[in-house]
Amino acid sequence: MEIRGPLLLPARREDIELETLDGLTLVGELALPADRDPVATLVTLHPLPTAGGFMDSHIFRKAAGRLPALADLAVLRFNTRGTTSPRGTSDGAFDGGLAESFDVAAAVDFVRERGLPRPWLVGWSFGTELALKYGRDHDIEGIILLSPPLHRATADEVAAWAQHPDRRVVVLVPELDDYLRPAEAAQRFASIPHAVLIPVDGGKHLWVGETQTRRVLTEIVAAVNPDALPLATEWHGETEASGA
């Protein structure tokens, strides 16, 4: 069958809880390859919760549904403080990207405690702000930024990544983004000489549609495990039940 929409490919899926240093419990899910160890780990940071973002925002739900099987990746999704999804509600309240620093730390700590390999932060919209502001504090391989608005991350916080050339910075910028388009993004990320800026023709901030989903997932895998490319578009084995 064609791999599209909410299709869940086989994986080991586990409901998890993250404990923050300020005493909150965050709910989430870890998806691992069904019958082998992962080669790398995606720690996903979802879009703005006050605008409907949560751990099930579609790109991250589809990453968790497909990439353990297609690219041997572990995918960690969780609700930042005060955020609700069908998985449940994380403790606390939205703090505009400030106390969420504890949430990022709790996720990276979980990856380390589980012994998961090669962690990357993958932020989308608001999640890119968290990756830029706090990712440098952690032992990660790199960050992947999807539709960065650069509303909260300051110019100094962006430029500070230039001091870490060993940590990769991959930026996907939709041609038709609502907040930051490729030409401006090239200027605002110019302070990071090793950043890789990828303009996406026809792309929009929310990456709606299967064509855009496949492009985003392909670019994530190209950064993290290029040996898995090209990603399959058909699946010939069993699948799991999933919602819309």
pLDDT at residue 243 greater than cutoff 90: no
Burial (0-12, 13-18, 19+ Cβ within 10 Å), 197? middle
Token pair belonging to 231: 């990603």
The β-bridge relationship of strands 88-89 and 119-124 is unpaired
Would you state the torsion angle of the CA atoms of residues 187, 206, 204, 95, taken in this order, to the nearest 10 degrees? -30
Give the count of domains, the chain: 1
Instruction: Write the DSSP assignment of 34-98 as a string of letters.
Output: SSS--SEEEEEE-S-GGGT--TT-HHHHHHHHHHHHHH-EEEEEEPPTT-EETTEE-SS---TTS
pLDDT at residue 6 greater than cutoff 50: yes
Q: What is the domain range of residue 204?
A: 12-228
CATH number at residue 108: 3.40.50.1820
On whether residue 155 sits in a domain, the answer given is yes
As a whole number of Å, the end-to-end CA separation of the chain is 17
pLDDT at residue 133 greater than cutoff 90: yes
What does the pLDDT look like over 164-182, one tens digit per residue?
Answer: 999 999 999 999 999 999 9
Mean pLDDT of the chain: 97
Place of tokens 């703090």: 95
pLDDT at residue 237 greater than cutoff 90: no
On whether residue 82 sits in a domain, the answer given is yes
What does the pLDDT look like over 101-123, one tens digit per residue?
Answer: 999 999 999 999 999 999 999 99
Average pLDDT over residues 73-92: 98
